[in-house]
A = this chain, B = another copy of it.
């Protein structure tokens, strides 16, 4: 595809040779002369001099690149669209395998692929065009919308509700029992977990992530939210729309996130925390129960990010502080002795 044709698709402006043939879309370091690449951040600008790409997607004309430049408003978006255009093929349609077990009481839409070694229990609904990979278990009374992709080795327990265009990666478990016990006569008695999980449209769930069913009522993942790998979402949690939850985050029972929150990797949220929409929690931080107003927070327990940065900068000086304090104390005590 000529660079000029690509440019037309995205209302771009070309600096340099517009006739160059583009055959691939690659990262800065891997790109060759017929590839187009993009500069994710000005931080990597120093890598441009060694970059062999034939063309680069930029927001504004740059000086330090010898190939063609495709100037567009939103370079990462154009990069994503080009990856889609060049590489992404639809999941092949394979129909419902005879080597899958699908309950006759289930209702399967048009153009659905169910691979061999899937188990679909009673009264399940699956929408059009959805693809279910091998070793997927779908419990009774579950609904899965249209255009979903369920990768291999996923467990979806009974009564789960999944919207349209949802992607669930391998190894994830939707709707396992929440973790609830009562201590009685020296033993932990299980609280039955009879609620469900609701996953709204356009949600993506990473690999080996666990989203527990509610005790009663529902655990909800809001529309468009994206959840990474190895995340723990406990019973009765409510995630608002368009949240980003990075790998290894854990959210304890009954906590809620407003829309557009970002939780960085390994963050822990205690139970019954309420986090206002648009809040960012930086990696490894710990949020206590109660309300957190919109902001950027860090630390365990969290504090405003800038304050955490300042406090942390001093943390390293604690031995010095302690020593100085002792010295001052001595000086003053000596003086007092003299007086």
Contact = CB atoms under 8 A, between A and B. Distances in A.
Nearest to A140: B92
9 contacts: A74-B184, A79-B191, A135-B135, A153-B171, A181-B226, A181-B244, A247-B250, A268-B283, A321-B321
B216 A234 contact: no
A25 B216 CA distance: 8
Given A30-B217, A226-B188, A316 B307 contact: yes
A331 B87 CA distance: 69
Interface string A245-259: 011101010000000
Contacts of A321: 314, 321-322, 325
Interface string A85-102: 011100000000001010
B217 A83 contact: no
Interface stretch (A14-22, A106-114, A115-123): A115-123
A171 B176 CA distance: 10
Interface of A: 25-27, 29-30, 43, 74, 76-77, 79-80, 83-84, 86-88, 99, 101, 115-117, 119, 133-135, 137, 151-155, 157, 167, 169-173, 176-177, 179, 181-182, 184, 186-192, 194, 202, 204, 206-210, 212, 214-217, 224, 226, 228-230, 232, 234, 236, 242, 244, 246-248, 250, 252, 265-266, 268, 270, 272, 283-284, 286, 299-301, 303, 307, 310-319, 321-322, 324-325, 328-329, 331-332, 336
